[in-house]
Amino acid sequence: MRQVAVIGMGSFGAAVAMTLTNQGVEVLAIDLDVEKIEDIKDSVAVAVALDATDEKALRSIGIEQVDEAIVCIGENLEANLLTTTLLKKMGIKKIYGRSVNPLQEEILKALEITKIINVEKEMGENIGKGLVSPNIQVCMKLASGHTMAEIKVPGELCGKVLKDLNIRKRYNVNIVAIKKQIPAIGENGQRIFKEIINDLPRAEDVLAETDYLIVVGKEESINSLAKYK
């Protein structure tokens, strides 16, 4: 099983840890604050209260055995950078670091970690894109230069069959999955919707009003599709 250390259990780090756990990842959650560890311990595989800037403490829990590490420490620049440096020193191949200001980002670049996560910048970009194209819910840049986005099915496409739309030919965009809301009955008998992902869309699939398309392509092509007329 894939093992990931998530260091820093603020709101961002805790969300990352629980999301990874829900995806079947074995998460080692670390924070200096005992109360934060108490809050997260039942939601992850292992939760440990320790000082992540202490190399001896990190080695005592065998952190060098994890496949990846995500440093989610936010405002404490010194702790963030020292922790990242120690992880590099211990030979962890994949390290993701959170940056909250330009200086921190530049230093993390110099450390040559796997990826720098600029939460505020990415949130700002997504909010801005959402205001311009309300149908686009999530947008993420890929290493290839392309973009992956989640688009609410435009009203004009509802009830239509994929093969009749020629999305790839018309927009140069690939549909990689369709997210559907399926009506269901909850534990208390109330009507709810369950979310399922169809990651093998067929040409015969019919698009519903509540569907979302997960697509890959150039950003301008995705914007055009989101504004489909």
CATH topology of domain 129-226: Alpha-Beta Plaits (3.30.70)
Residue 224 CB neighbours (<10 A): 17
Domain ranges of the chain: 3-120, 129-226
- CA of residue 23 relative to chain centroid, distance: 11
How big is the CA angle at 11 (ends 9 and 15), to the nearest 5 degrees? Answer: 85
Separation between Cα atoms, residue 33 and residue 131, nearest integer Å: 38
Range among 57-61, 104-108, 120-124 with highest mean pLDDT value: 57-61
CATH 3.40.50.720 fits 3-120, yes or no: yes
pLDDT in tens, 166-223: 888 888 888 888 888 887 777 777 777 777 888 788 889 999 888 888 888 888 888 8
pLDDT in tens, 127-168: 455 544 556 666 666 655 677 788 888 888 889 999 898 888
Separation between Cα atoms, residue 50 and residue 61, nearest integer Å: 10
Question: Model pTM greater than 0.75?
Answer: no
Which bin fits 172, alpha (ψ -120 to 50), beta or left (φ > 0)?
Answer: left
